[in-house]
Chain A
Amino acid sequence: MTVTREYKKAFGQFSSNRTQRPNTLHPVEIELDSQEEVAGGAHSIDFEKGDIILKQSGMYLLIACPQVGKTRGTNNRWIDFWVRINNVDLPNSTIRRVISDSQEKDVVLLNIVTHLNKGDTLSIMMAVEVESEGLGIEAIEPDKEPTIPSVIVTLVQLD
């Protein structure tokens, strides 16, 4: 028997199991490769690589948690994250983390509340200080544990 679930409000959780280290100093889009299971229902938000595409207009809460790290160097290096909507950077959404050591791993929290229209495209952007030290977001595969995604993005419609 097929159970069809209907959700009134749009929501979505996306993640990436791929390590992404920018090889340019220009902003790059964080790519996503999986979406939450909706238990027989239908996804109310779609995605295509790094673009999250809204199917319903409304006020949304976005929480993105990239797992940052670097591979080389001991100097302090920053890495920035922000949100881009319809290819336009969203003001007051940028956050910065400084990493000094390759052993240092951290999750940074990016959260915004904004109005999005049906068909709007939302992307999480990343920029690094240097391209030679392997700065970026890391997917980690610990022993006897599930994979730690390089980024987890949660998007919930509020109204």
Chain B
Amino acid sequence: MSVAVFVVLTSSVVSFHLAFASSAELPTECGVFEYNENCELSPVAHLVYGDVVIAGGLSTFLALLFHHFTHKNMLKIDGVIKRVDGIIQSQEEMRIRRKDYSVQHLKNLFQSLLFTTSIIRRSCSNYNLTLTVHADPEKQQWLRSTSLSKLQSDQAVMARLLQTIRNVLVSESDVLEPDVINQTEGVCTYLTAISVEQKADGTMQFQKYEVCRMKIQYLMEQLQAYSVESHSFTEIMTQFTPLERFKASKNEAESAIKGVKS
């Protein structure tokens, strides 16, 4: 359809040119493309010169106009790209700073947690001592109540530390690696369920103290593998430490077998 319209338009324009040009009588000495004051423009020259001038002028104008607009837009786009790059870079720098800080913060918190577990264990021992101490009942009661208060306050410190660690995990979940978050969350979950329990004889006992320490130390190993140069956790080559008790049992078994043989 558009092709048909174009053909009609072009042919009508050309026909008009030819029609107007053909009305004048041309001197016989004038050439087809001759252009001077004594000669009328031939229809073909009229068509060619008119189109060249109009189309050329118009296209030059449009080209200059579009070039101007393009140039202007390119400058705008370049500015926008620079601004976006700047924003991305500043966000990345902020992410790295947050990651560095959160890992350092977690390390400090777990160090405090490790220390607090030791304090709680010592408080348990102190409380247990008050059960056997020989003193007048009033003083014994005072000792027991103060030791118990100390134990409870230490447990509260541990609870607060665990809560702080959980808060750090939530706030920094977009910068820390999922593995580290899961591992930290696992340790927190375990420690939250651990409590000091009173046994039947009245003594206090820190349940699974050794396991708690082991879990915290594993996690601290992981956190200490963080490099502030590369802003990532370096791969820890898991070295399984041989347990001496199994080696010892194996040696005992071997010596027993030798003894039987001899």
Q: How many Å lie between the Cα of A118 and that of B221 in the bound state?
A: 11
Q: Is A42 an interface residue (CB 8 A)?
A: yes
Q: Indicate whether B219 reaches chain A with its CB closer than 8 angstroms.
A: yes
B-facing residues in A22-48 (Cβ within 8 Å): 35, 37-38, 41-44, 46, 48
Bound Cα distance A56, B240 (Å) = 10
Across-interface contacts of A1 in B (CB, < 8 A) = none
Per the bound structure, the CA–CA distance linking A121 and B241 in Å amounts to 18
Q: Are A51 and B208 in contact (CB under 8 A)?
A: yes
Contacting residues, chain B, for A35 (C-beta < 8 A): 243, 246
Contact of A57 among B179, B208, B239 (CB under 8 A): B179
**Could you pull out 7 A-B pairs where Cβ atoms are within 8 angstroms?**
A37-B250, A51-B211, A86-B190, A117-B179, A118-B238, A119-B183, A119-B187
Between A and B, how many residue pairs show CB distances below 8 Å?
72
A-binding residues in B (CB < 8 A): 179, 182-183, 186-187, 189-190, 192-194, 208, 210-211, 214-215, 218-219, 222, 238-243, 246, 250
- Spell out A's residues near B (CB within 8 Å): 7, 35, 37-38, 41-44, 46, 48, 51, 53, 55-57, 85-88, 117-121
Residues of chain A lying within 8 A (CB to CB) of residue B182: 117
The answer to whether A44 and B238 touch (CB under 8 A), given A87-B193, A118-B218, A121-B215, is: yes
* A55 lies within 8 A of B240 (CB): yes
Which A residue sits closest to B216, measured CB to CB? A119
Q: How far is the CA of A119 from the CA of B223 in the complex (A)?
A: 13
A42: chain B residues within 8 A (beta carbon): 239-243
Interface of chain B, main secondary structure: helix
Interface contact A86-B218, CB-CB below 8 Å: no
* A48, B240: Cβ atoms closer than 8 Å: no
Is the pair A56, B238 in contact by a Cβ cutoff of 8 Å? yes
Do A38 and B246 touch (CB < 8 A)? yes
Interfacial chain A residues near B210, Cβ < 8 Å? 48
Within 8 Å by CB of B183, from A7, A46, A57, lies A57
B189–A55 touching, CB < 8 Å: no
Contact of A53 among B193, B214, B246 (CB under 8 A): B214
Distance between B207 CB and nearest chain A CB, rounded to angstroms: 10
- A37, A53, A88: the one contacting B189 at CB < 8 Å is A88
Which 10 A-B pairs give the minimum distances between C-beta atoms?
Answer: A87-B193, A42-B240, A119-B218, A86-B190, A42-B242, A86-B189, A117-B183, A86-B186, A44-B240, A119-B215
Residues A87 and B189 in contact in the complex (CB < 8 Å), given A117-B179, A121-B215: yes
List of B residues within 8 angstroms of A118 by Cβ: 183, 218, 222, 238
